[in-house]
C-alpha cells in the first residue's frame, strides 16, 4: 500500500513539475522538467536521510555522548523489531522530532534540544516511539521525497511567477499560481493519515499511549509559538515533524492535536496497547498541559 501511495504521489508531483515546465517553456520546458523530476526522484531516494539531516544541521550522538537518549531509542527499536537507526540531536528551540531514511535499514531519528529539555523521560519515549512508528510503517521515504519535490515545485513556481515570458497566456500564469497549492493538497492527503498510524504504532511499541498524548499536549502549543528556521525556509518540511508548528490548521499536514490525543486516550482505555503510560497524567488533564516544566534528565549537554 505504501509503495502504491509513493508511486502515485511521485507521479502527481512530477506531473505538476511538467505542467510548470510547459507553462514556462512549452513542450521543451515540459521535457526538461520531466528529466529534472526523474533525476530528483532518484537522487532523493538514495540520499533522503542525508538531505533532511543536513537541512537541520543535525549532530549524530551515541551511547558515549548521550547514553540515556541513545539507549532509549535502542530499547524502543528492539521492542519494535527494527534495525537500530542512527540517532541525532538538532540544536533548535522548537520542541519537535522527526524520522528519515529510505527504509528501516537506512533510517535515522532526531529530536530537538527544545523537546529534550521540555519533556519527561516517558514523554520523550512516547515521541521517539512515534518516530520509530514512521520507520516501521515505511513512511519516512515518502515524507522526505515530498518535502524535497514539493519544495522544488514551489521554488520553480515562484521563479516562473517573476521571470516568465510576458507573452505567456493566462493559463501559464494560473499554472504558476496554483501548482504550489496543488502540491500542498497532495501532501495533506497523505500526511494526515500517516500521523494516526504512527501514533498507534507508538502506543504498541512503548505500551504508554498517554505518555505520547501528554507530550503532544505539551509541545503543540509551544511549537506553534516558537520559530522553526528550516520550516520557514521550506514549508514543505513541516510534514516531517511530530507536530507541524506555526502552520494554520487548514494548511496543516497533520490532523488536529486534539483528535490525536483523543485517539490515544481511547487506546489507553481499551487496554489494547499495553497500558496507560504509568506516571502519565489522567486523560482529562491532557488538554491544558502546554506549560513549562522542570527540564528532563535527557537534556543534552554541550
Task: Give me the active site residues, please.
Answer: 131
The DSSP annotation for 90-133 comes to: E--SS--EEEEESSGGGEEEEEEHHHHHHS-HHHHHHHHHHHHH
Location of C-alpha cell 535527557: 298
Q: Which residues contact 219 (CB under 8 A, 6 or more apart)?
A: 95, 96, 115, 118, 119, 242, 243, 290
> Is 162 exposed, middle or buried (CB count within 10 Å of its CB: 0-12, 13-18, 19+)?
exposed
Select from 100, 129, 101, 90 the least CA-distant residue to 230. 90
H/E stretch holding 89 reads: strand 86-90
**Alpha-carbon gap, residue 109 to 13, rounded angstroms:** 26
DSSP state of 17: H
Q: Which three cell numbers stand for residue 126?
A: 512516547
Distance of alpha carbon 99 from alpha carbon 97, whole angstroms: 7
How far is residue 72's CA from residue 176's CA, in Å, rounded to a whole number? Answer: 46
Amino acid at each position: 500500500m505504501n509503495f502504491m501511495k509513493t508511486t502515485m504521489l511521485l507521479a502527481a508531483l512530477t506531473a505538476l513539475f511538467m505542467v510548470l515546465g510547459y507553462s514556462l517553456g512549452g513542450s521543451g520546458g515540459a521535457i526538461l522538467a520531466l528529466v529534472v523530476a526523474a533525476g530528483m526522484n532518484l537522487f532523493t531516494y538514495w540520499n533522503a536521510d542525508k538531505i533532511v539531516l543536513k537541512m537541520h544541521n543535525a549532530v549524530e550522538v551515541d551511547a558515549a555522548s548521550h547514553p540515556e537518549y541513545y539507549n532509549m531509542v535502542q530499547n524502543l527499536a528492539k521492542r519494535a523489531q527494527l534495525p537500530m537507526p542512527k540517532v541525532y540531536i538538532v540544536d533548535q528551540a522548537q520542541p519537535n522530532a522527526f524520522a528519515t531514511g529510505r527504509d528501516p535499514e537506512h533510517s535515522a531519528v532526531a529530536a530537538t534540544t527544545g523537546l529534550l529539555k521540555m519533556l519527561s523521560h516517558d514523554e520523550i519515549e512516547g515521541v521517539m516511539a512515534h518516530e520509530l512508528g514512521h520507520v516501521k510503517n515505511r513512511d519516512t521515504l515518502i515524507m522526505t521525497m515530498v518535502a524535497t519535490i514539493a519544495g522544488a515545485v514551489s521554488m520553480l513556481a515562484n521563479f516562473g511567477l517573476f521571470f516568465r515570458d510576458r507573452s505567456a497566456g493566462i493559463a501559464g500564469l494560473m499554472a504558476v499560481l496554483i501548482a504550489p497549492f496543488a502540491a500542498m493538497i497532495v501532501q495533506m492527503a497523505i500526511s494526515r493519515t500517516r500521523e494516526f498510524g504512527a501514533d498507534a504504532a507508538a502506543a504498541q511499541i512503548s505500551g504508554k499511549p498517554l505518555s505520547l498524548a501528554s507530550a503532544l499536549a505539551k509541545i503543540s502549543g509551544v511549537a506553534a509559538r516558537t520559530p522553526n528556521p528550516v520550516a520557514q525556509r521550506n514549508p514543505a518540511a513541516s510534514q516531517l515533524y511530530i507536530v507541524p508548528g506555526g502552520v494554520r490548521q487548514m494548511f496543516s499536514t497533520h490532523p488536529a492535536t486534539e483528535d490525536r490525543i483523543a485517539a490515544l486516550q481511547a487506546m489507553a482505555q481499551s487496554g489494547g496497547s499495553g497500558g496507560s503510560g504509568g506516571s502519565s497524567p489522567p486523560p482529562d488533564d491532557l488538554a491544558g498541559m502546554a506549560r513549562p516544566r522542570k527540564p528532563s534528565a535527557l537534556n543534552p549537554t554541550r
